[in-house]
């Protein structure tokens, strides 16, 4: 690794390095209430699985496929969404992810957008499933 590369990595900060090297909530869930896998503009991909009860994200797993920036953003998205209501989690923005990481180069903000979009799609699926269940219950009554 060149001195330039070492300096660039050091400038990213400890929060970034922690999430990039040891992503939190890594993996998948069996029978998730909501799940989404999206591919970003750079070719990186991300999967997010949710377990939801009482409109709250009880468990979340992220499975990033790509660069260290994608891994870090997936990890932060999972941390920000866990134990939030679905509506609160839908309010998470790419800028929120950048703020947790302390820094995210502008040319990698698409990784934060990928995390937010994947989370949003997983939440949308969880909401659709819940509405379908509620509709089925009301039809049975």
Over 90: is that where the pLDDT of 141 sits?
no
Mean of all residue pLDDT scores within the chain = 90
Q: What is the pLDDT of residue 103?
A: 82
Report pLDDT digits (tens) over 56-99. 999 999 999 999 999 999 999 999 999 999 999 999 999 999 99
Residue-range definition of the domain harbouring residue 123 = 3-140
Terminal alpha carbon distance of the chain: 66
Q: What is the pLDDT of residue 8?
A: 55
Q: Would you place residue 7 in the very low, low, confident or very high pLDDT band (cuts 50, 70, 90)?
A: very low
- If one counts the domains in the chain, the total is 1
Q: CA–CA distance from 58 to each of 43, 50, 52, 81, 123 (Å)? A: 30, 8, 5, 9, 12
CATH number of the domain that residue 54 is part of: 3.90.1010.10
- Residue pair 80/60 in contact (Cβ under 8 Å)? The answer is no
| pTM (two decimals) | 0.88
Q: What is the pLDDT of residue 14?
A: 83
Length of the chain: 141
């Amino acid at each position: 690794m060149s001195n330039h590369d070492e300096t660039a990595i050091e400038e990213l900060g400890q929060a970034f390095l922690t999430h990039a090297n040891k992503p939190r909530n890594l993996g998948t869930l069996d029978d998730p209430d909501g799940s989404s896998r999206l591919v970003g503009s750079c070719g990186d991909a991300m999967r997010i699985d949710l377990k939801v009860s009482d409109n709250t994200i009880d468990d979340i797993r992220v499975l990033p496929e790509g660069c260290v920036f994608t891994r870090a953003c997936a990890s932060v998205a999972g941390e920000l969404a866990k134990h939030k209501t679905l509506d609160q989690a839908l309010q998470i923005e790419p800028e929120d992810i950048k703020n947790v990481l302390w820094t995210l180069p502008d040319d990698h903000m698409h990784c934060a957008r990928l995390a937010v979009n994947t989370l949003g799609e997983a939440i949308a699926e969880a909401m659709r499933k819940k509405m379908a269940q509620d509709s089925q219950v009301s039809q049975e009554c």
